[in-house]
Amino acid sequence: MEALKGSLGKMGIDASAAIKKGRLIIDDGYTATLTGGRIDAEPGKMQAMQQIEECWLMRSLKISDMSLDWLKMMKSGVTALDSSATWPPGALVVQDSVSELLRFNEESIVLEFYLTRIIPHEIRKAKKVGLCGLARGVHTESFYKRLAGAVDGTIDVRVMERDNEVKNLLRIRNLKGQPHDTRWHEIAIKPNGETTLVNQQS
């Protein structure tokens, strides 16, 4: 948590102030990966999430636990966890790696969760922007294709060696309903984490 806040601080973002104003929510999905995908919850508590100081701890990366929490929230009404209802249109949701969920769940279960809940409710219904990372080459091609077909666009990021140097490249693979440049572009990543466009790749 502190490392992430420090990284945001290098880019001029006061994370603690943004959290207090309700403009930033940080979920810790890493800790649960160290204990097999689940941290035992207290009786009567939410199985998947728990607020600890300034962040939400993902107690479980199991889709079954997330689904139970979802149903509880639907019955109890809008809560701070229900970002669909509490965050304004245009809010940005960033999930650095969907692949982490696939370490602890079957592909079909993760795909169903995204196609029936995350994308239609947490993103489209709420009119939010979702940016989710996914590692290529570790899941089935069917999973990639079905998920890509359900979202509005896909962006490829690749690290390649060119002219004896490591290059970071980015391209828009597709963007539904919008004109877009599908060529590779080199990007530079600054020490503070900011990314800038360097030049076009033919």
Taking only the tens place, the pLDDT of each residue in 50-105 is 877 778 888 899 999 888 877 777 777 655 555 556 788 899 999 888 898 999 99
Q: Considering only residues 131 and 55, tell me which one the structure prediction assigns the higher pLDDT.
A: 131
> In percent, how much of the chain has pLDDT > 90?
34
Amino acid letter for position 174: N
* Long-range interactions of 157-160: CB distance < 8 A, separation 24+: 158/184
Model pLDDT for residues 14-50, shown as the tens digit of each residue: 988 988 888 888 888 888 898 888 887 666 666 787 8
Q: Distance (Å, rounded) from C-alpha 55 to C-alpha 80?
A: 12
> Distance from CA of residue 9 to its chain's centroid?
20
Q: Show me where the domains of the chain are located.
A: 1-62, 82-151, 152-202
Task: Quote the pTM value.
Answer: 0.80
| Residue 193, CA atoms < 13 Å, CB-side half-sphere | 11
150 with 124: CB under 8 angstroms? no
